[in-house]
Amino acid sequence: MTDDDLLRYSRHLLLDEIGIEGQQRLLDASALVIGAGGLGSPVALYLASAGVGRITLVDHDTVSLTNLQRQIAHDMASLDRPKVESAAARMAALNPAVQVRTLARKADAALLDAEVPRADVVIDCSDNFATRHLVNAACVRHGRPLVSGAAIGFDGQVSVYRAHGTHPCYACLFPPESGFEDVACATMGVFAPLVGIIGSLQAAEALKLLAGVGEPLAGRLLMLDGRRMQWSEIAVQRDPDCPVCGA
């Protein structure tokens, strides 16, 4: 760790739970972020500012004017630019020492099977059930922890899926065959700060996992009612008949 690192990350180093060893683990770590929109923006910026050494961003979309109400990694100068490139530029401005790879592609099964094994943690910031299930299945196959978040309207949720021992995977809670209907921001709307709140929580959970501190949200689904700013939590059990992680 250089003198500049000691200064840049000094507020982490002052935390007994992180200190020099925990910060070094962040510097040595690799994270895969699926989605560079509302949730992915705060995730990407906080991972970069915290010094996660290698970050891969995956998103096939480009920046539009409707994104700027909530997707804080982008600005007017980014319009029509790939979101991964726009976000990477903001990350480099925050912390040029972080290595950022950009993949302007959809997160399909082939891409995930190539990228998930390279990551120490996967953060799912996508906006549809099909992608979430693909990401979850890849994390189960390759034994990688998954930090998953969702936000629509005034409601948000976040959890960590580790899929070993008694811990559930995403499909234990949201079975692929259950027929959950996707609700898009374009039709339902979303409260701008909500994605910042949920995305920041995803970043916090990812950093905790990488630094080896605290207790992750594994086996717990944290939910936010943004109308009343009221949090609730439910325990999630592993489903022994889960088609993804069950025996």
- Catalytic residues, by residue number, are 185
* End-to-end CA, the chain: 44
State the Cα–Cα distance between residues 22 and 52, nearest whole angstrom.
Answer: 11
- CA-based diameter of the chain, in Å? 53
Q: Are the CB atoms for 6 and 14 separated by under 8 Å?
A: no
State the Cα–Cα distance between residues 143 and 134, nearest whole angstrom.
Answer: 14
State the Cα–Cα distance between residues 107 and 241, nearest whole angstrom.
Answer: 26
State the Cα–Cα distance between residues 205 and 160, nearest whole angstrom.
Answer: 8
DSSP 24-65: HHHHT-EEEEE--STTHHHHHHHHHHHT-SEEEEE---B--G
State the Cα torsion 144-225-191-92 to the nearest 10°: -30
State the Cα–Cα distance between residues 117 and 107, nearest whole angstrom.
Answer: 14
State the Cα torsion 225-227-228-234 to the nearest 10°: -10
DSSP 69-127: GT-TT--GGGTTSBHHHHHHHHHHHH-TTSEEEEE-S---HHHHHHHGGG-SEEEE--S
